[in-house]
Chain A
Amino acid sequence: MDDDEVLDTIRRTVLLVLPDLEPDLVQPQRTLTELGANSIDRAEVVSLTMETLGVDVPVAAFAGVRDIGGLAALLRRHL
């Protein structure tokens, strides 16, 4: 699975959690907070994406993630 597929999974998950969102706004340089996700939404995006990708990343590892690109990179390292 390449990085674009990880990103696509994140995009689908974000749109599931935030159905009002314009799909094109989900870009690597954006943050979930900028897109209107609250802390619960963000946690849900992470758990749903991990579930879809079949990866299991310790919660502490997400502390350094700044944007959607960073989230994708972290998940990709655990594939």
Chain B
Amino acid sequence: MTVVVTGAGVLSAIAAGVEEFAAALRAGRSGIAARGTGELSADLAGFDFGAAVAARYRLAEPIRRAALRAAARAPLPVQAAVTVALQAWEAAGLHAEPVPADRTGVVVGGHNLGGAYADAVRPRYRASPAYLPGRYALRYLDTDHVGTVSQVLGITGEGCTVGGASASGNAAIVHGCRLVACGEVDACLVIGALTELSAMERQAFVNLGALAGAGANGGRHSDAEPATLCRPFDEDRAGFVPGQAAACLVLESAESARRRGARALATVAGYALRLDGNSLADPDPAGEARVMAEALRRAGLGPGEVDYVNTHGTGSRLGDEAEVAALRKVFGSDLGRPWLNSTKGLVGHGLCAAGVVEAVAALVQLRDGFVHPNANLARPIDGECRFAGGRAEPAELTVAMSNGFGFGGFNSSVVFVGPGR
């Protein structure tokens, strides 16, 4: 069964909504900055949940009221999930031409999403265990994302969270596709959940040497311009920068989309999610190549037909090198053909959200015919790869691949084909 994307929503440091995101990507706007304490991060700037809900005025008033009732005091990741779900719901026209509630599913990609919220609540618990809100029993569960989104939108089909570290977003797309393809649901919201690192989680990445700008001064950048420190595929890259982001796709059977008169942004033509058999943060080009090749095989496409790859490209020393080696394995003599860029250089690494955020990035580039710039790519680590430069390039794109690799040997790749083909 053909699975298509009929709606999208996104929230990131550079945009609150798909059209703003497309414009910001085209402009190469970076959301990476130093927090007051000096740590680099691409944070949501001035996010206001009430305003985000009010902006969805096309949706019925009871939905907006339900969103405020369910999430006005929820942790940021849950508010972000509701926000992108409402955007995608509206974009897919599900408010005007609905799919039955029990034929609609929701899959949230992400896990361990409550660390920063636990940091925020802990002082109250320390003051007296009695002051810990009973609601924490619900809020600490990652599944609160599923419960809250389903309550707001009245979704009663299948729902769950899925996890795969930084491949969680792609894992959600894969799982959502399967739910639609096997006929369990007609439409499925897949959400990449905002990952707000707790102080300890962030420090662990610092101590591992994984974060950019985290040299001898303990995770604080020195005097360089913050937006220049995340450098995917550049010789001088020094790690990733965390980014607060969330995104949602509405995946739907082509039949359901046709019935509703919903326009498809793209077809999810192929995907693969495979393990390296390795619990470490140890990227393996062979494993990465395997998922790209398998996703293409399922799509019935050859490497020479790929126009664009949204890379995992975090800006880490080892990770970027492994991905280039994997691309070389898959594309061989066609290595110079597909455009390559990294959205993480602009919006930071959304961690659990990254797969869905970058799917939205890929889809708007397919739709609008451009490749967004690669931030800070002064000296590419490979001379044959066709990396986008410092400015957006017009490009006729039909076939896009989006990669996601996670700690613990999670490799994933998804192939989207634009409606032109």
Contacts and interface: CB of A to CB of B under 8 A. Distances in A.
B127 A20 contact: no
A57 interface: yes
Interface string B119-159: 00000100110111111001000000000000000000000
Interface residues of A, number: 16
A48 B73 CA distance: 13
Contacts of B35: none
A57 B69 contact: no
Interface string A43-60: 110111011000011110
Interface in A16-42: 16-17, 19-20, 40
A74 to B, nearest CB: 13
B65 interface: yes
B72 interface: yes
Given A16-B73, A19-B72, A51-B124, A40 B134 contact: yes
A44 B68 contact: no
Given A20-B65, A51-B124, A56-B130, A44 B72 contact: no
A48 B134 CA distance: 10
Contacts of A17: 73
A50 B68 contact: no
B71 to A, nearest CB: 12
Contact of B135 (A16, A43, A56): A43
A40 B130 contact: no
Nearest to B131: A51
A57 B130 contact: yes
Contacts of B138: 40
Contacts of B135: 40, 43-44
A47 B65 contact: no
B68 A43 contact: no
A47 B69 contact: no
Given A40-B138, A56-B128, A19 B68 contact: yes
**Nearest 5 Cβ contacts at the A-B interface:** A43-B134, A51-B131, A56-B130, A56-B128, A44-B133
Given A40-B134, A48-B131, 15 more contacts: A19-B68, A19-B69, A20-B69, A43-B134, A43-B135, A44-B134, A44-B135, A47-B131, A47-B134, A50-B131, A51-B124, A51-B131, A56-B128, A56-B131, A58-B130
Interface of B: 65, 68-69, 72-73, 124, 127-128, 130-135, 138
Interface of A: 16-17, 19-20, 40, 43-44, 46-48, 50-51, 56-59
